[in-house]
Structure 1
Amino acid sequence: MNWVAVAGTLAALCSTICFVPQAWRIVRTRDTKAISPLTYSLTVTGFALWTAYGLGLGQWPLIVTNSICFVLSAFILIMTLLPRPKKEAVAETIDPAA
């Protein structure tokens, strides 16, 4: 594996994994006050477009990585926009022990 493939793989892992702690924190605390809906709207749109770009090129690394990032960032955006009772219901479904 050459350095370009290694760099691409590490970048894909970092990009994909970086949303997991935020999503999990929301589930555990139900707190989204510090999250900017505008920022996450742009992020979700960007990942949707990157996924479409990957589909257009037939590049599975782009498709898979950006699809996962899209789902995670969309979850964070949705949780940010939901009213408190619905946010609680979603989080309770995902982690009943919290």
Structure 2
Amino acid sequence: MTADTLTSVLATSDMLEIDGLHAFDFELNAEKLLVIAMDGRAEKRWSFSLAQVEAATFDDTLQSWTLTGDSGEHRLICFNAFTGNNNDEDEADDDA
């Protein structure tokens, strides 16, 4: 994977892995990146300023981003998901 910037990769990502936890709930806006994940029953939250996101570096060996926030250094992996069709019938039959 050749990465441009974390900001551009996040724009097309559907899921993240941060410090080994999978997070579907994340938001990048003009001010910050907010990531929410569950660790067992405990909710964990990470918040990074836009400047911290823009300063993130990509590690080619580990295929992940190193992101330094107020709580220290974090490892972030971005994923793109795909959706399947649960219909057992052909698409032509959908109009019937």
Same-fold call, TM cutoff 0.5:
no
Whose strand fraction is larger, Structure 1's or Structure 2's? 2
Larger Rg: 2
